[in-house]
Amino acid sequence: MNKKILALVMGCALASGCSSIVSKSDYAVAINSNPGGASFVITNRDGQKVESGVTPSTVTLSSSSGYFKGESYTVVLQKEGYSEKTYTLTSSIDGWYFGNILLGGLIGMLIVDPATGAMYNLPERADISLDANTASAPNGELRIATLDSLSEDQKLALVKI
């Protein structure tokens, strides 16, 4: 009888980790843009490309980049006629991680959840608005001038910002 109780206690101690039981370490994240149809590339904190595609799309990302280290991602969106947009996705501490105080104990809090990455979570979605390009010139020509190269009439038409 004592061996069964000891085995049960050891099994619970080794398998405990509140976030590991309730949460996960890989998350499906919806990537949306306004307007849709933008191409995107996602890189992790080390600069490695982890995903790419066209919005709207759902990608699976890991919430952890190592022991006690949450992951962050850079999403770069591009679409013809719009300025390139950069968006950062950052993991945060999963609320279930603090359940270790009651259920998982120190093993769950210091070993299991940090090692599995379950102590972190990612947002379910990233909704990113793109800005239309505003710089335009006739015939695709852009002319840059210095103040001293302008005529007096052109200088009078300038508006101070």
The answer for residues whose C-beta is within 8 angstroms of residue 108's C-beta and 6 or more apart is 16, 17, 18, 19, 20, 100
pTM above 0.75, yes or no: no
Q: Work out the percent of the chain whose per-residue pLDDT is above 90.
A: 29
Maximum distance among all Cα pairs of the chain, rounded to whole angstroms: 100
From residue 74, how far is each of 39, 40, 71, 135 by CA, in Å? 14, 10, 10, 26
Confidence of residue 156 (pLDDT cuts 50, 70, 90): confident
Beta strand pairing status for 64-66 and 69-70?
Answer: antiparallel
Compute the C-alpha angle 121/122/125, nearest 5°. Answer: 150
User: What pLDDT score does 18 carry?
Assistant: 40
Q: Which tops the pLDDT comparison, 73 or 70? A: 73
Tell me the domain boundaries of the chain: 2-148
Residue 5 tokens, joined: 């109780």
pLDDT exceeds 70 at position 71: yes
* DSSP letter for each residue of 73-121: EEEEEE-TTB--EEEEEE-EE-GGGGGGGTTTHHHIIIIIHHHHTTTEE
CB–CB of 117/73 below 8 Å?
no
